[in-house]
Amino acid sequence: MKLRKLSLRNRIFLAMILLVLLASILISTVAIYQYKEEREDYHKQRLERKEINIQTHIKSVLNSRQNTWEVRTENIPIIFKEELYKITDIHKLHINLYDLEGGLLVSTQVDLNKDIENQCLDAEILNDLFHSVELNTITNTLEHRFVDKHVANGETFQSSYTYITDQKSKNLAILNLPYLENDDFLAKELDEFLKRIGYAFLLVLIMAIVIAFLLSKYITKSLKTISDKINATRLEKSNEKIDINDTSEEITALVNSYNSMIDELEESAVKLATSEREQAWREMAKQVAHEIKNPLTPMRLTVQNFQRKFDPKDENIHQKLDEYSKTLIQQIDTMSSIASAFSTFAKMPAQKNETLNVVEIIKLALDIFNEDYIEFKATSNDIIAKFDRTQLIRVVTNLVKNSIQSMPDTIIPRIVINVETDQKDVMITVADNGAGVSEENKHKIFEPKFTTKTSGMGLGLAMVKNIVETYNGTISFVSKKDKGTTFKVSFPIE
């Protein structure tokens, strides 16, 4: 599980190092195994060569003119009394000759000559020799041959047993060659080989570390660039394409796919924006029609009632006419107010940026309110920022109006407006202890035409959000039901 959490760069780096280490271990293991195989073949073939050469030498002695003795088993000790030592000196290997029953005839080993009568071969060796038939790899002939291999005092010994025959291929004696496997030379060669290959692998390991670091950095650099671009991709803005040169085929294919997606995304964004604008205007038209119909109904009823009850001779005709006129004017004013509100919302945002003192402008905006429970605080008397004066007043007044209208009659109302800055942004908070916003309405609070009040068109907070976002600012709120609501507006100073 921890391996899965590693970055791609670390995985590539570790994989390269692990590959080199495994390769070094594998090659070293193969080298040691090959050494063991060659050592066994070397000693086996060396013993076979010694054996053939000594057999040939012995046969030449038996069949030479200098030999005056009859070639028989019992004459072997006499024939080879001196010659056997000469053969041993030439071939650098001790020789033991036994009769066919396993009794020792003659030997060049001093320890065997001291007790020659008690030296004889085991019946098991005689039996194995008689029944063992091997193909001599040097002469490519079949022969009776047995090799006894054992380890003593940490050294490996081999003893080969073969028959000595006369000219008629009749067995005369058993030739025994005790052979010590001396591996000093081969072991030294192996040590030197492993030392050299160790240096080579150390160099390869260093090179692998450097290459793995550069390769992983090169690969992940391209992927990091792609990742950053993908994370920055937004539907509502223009996205930049990725421009990476000299990359692998796979990375190039990924980049091309991303760039194609950006083209399709921009087309989709245009279509979506067009669709959203059309939908917004449809909703706006429905809302305007709905709001205008509301005052038209009482106007219609007023006119109809006037038509039915109009009497020129009525002594109160002027008073009634005045009442009808006031009713119509009131409804006309309502329609005018509706038209002005929608006109103002539709023109958002209209910016006239100027450097102004935010504290002074907010104080000016609060002067229109007569409520004595409105409290204003500022961390400084001078907080300078670039903003549209009218739109800043509109933001503050809409938020304060929203707080005033949320106050129930059962509490002592309190609204606190606070202004502060962190040298980069201006933060304005409007906190109240009103009715709050329910959980089901929190996600709708900034939607146009949404309202929980019996009057109003639900455009105030939507207008505030529109203005704030135009200045790359943010607006958020925290609210608890029946506890109050705090709106926080933040926008850059510059």
From the first residue on, what is the mean pLDDT of each consecutive set of 10 residues in the chain (494 residues)?
Answer: 62 79 84 81 84 89 84 87 88 89 86 57 87 76 84 82 87 89 72 82 83 75 71 63 64 73 73 69 66 67 72 74 74 69 56 84 86 91 88 88 87 92 91 87 70 49 83 89 90 86
The answer to whether 404 touches 369, Cβ cutoff 8 Å, is yes
Query: How many H-runs (helices) and E-runs (strands) does the chain carry?
Result: 12, 13
In this predicted model, what pLDDT tens digit does every residue of 66-124 receive, in sequence order? 888 888 888 888 888 888 888 888 988 889 999 988 888 898 886 655 554 457 888 88
Interatomic CA distance for residues 103 and 293, integer angstroms:
137
Residue 492 φ/ψ, nearest 5 degrees: -65, 150
CB atoms within 10 A of CB 462: 19
Element (DSSP H or E) covering residue 99: none
Q: Which helix (H) or strand (E) holds 354?
A: strand 353-357
User: Residue 452's closest CA among 429, 436, 476, 433?
Assistant: 436
Please, is 225 exposed, middle or buried when counting C-beta atoms within 10 Å of its C-beta (0-12, 13-18, 19+)? middle
Instruction: Give how far Cα 460 sits from Cα of 285, 414, 484, Å.
Output: 18, 21, 18
- According to DSSP, residue 442 is labeled G
Return the pLDDT at 398.
87
Report phi then psi at 358, rounded to 5.
-60, -40
In terms of Cβ atoms closer than 10 Å to its own Cβ (0-12, 13-18, 19+), residue 327 is: middle
Residue 407 DSSP SS3: coil
Token pair of 340 as six digits: 């002005």
- The pLDDT tens digits of the residues spanning 298-311 come to 667 677 777 777 67
In the chain, how long is the greatest CA-to-CA distance?
185
Distance of CA 310 to the CA centre of its chain: 87
Which pLDDT score, from 0 to 100, does residue 112 have? Answer: 55
With b for 16 or more beta-carbon neighbours within 10 A and e for fewer, the 191-212 pattern comes to: eeeeeeeeeebeeebeebeeeb
pLDDT of residue 291: 64
Q: Do residues 373 and 413 touch, judged by C-beta distance below 8 A?
A: yes
Quick one: pLDDT at residue 175? 92
How many C-beta neighbours within 10 Å does residue 358 have? 22
Q: Which residue has the tokens 């087309």?
A: 267
How far is residue 91's CA from residue 89's CA, in Å, rounded to a whole number?
6
C-alpha–C-alpha distance, residues 178 and 192, integer Å: 30
| Residue 104 near residue 174 (C-beta atoms within 8 A) | no
pLDDT of residue 429: 94
Q: Cis omega before residue 349 (within 30°)?
A: yes
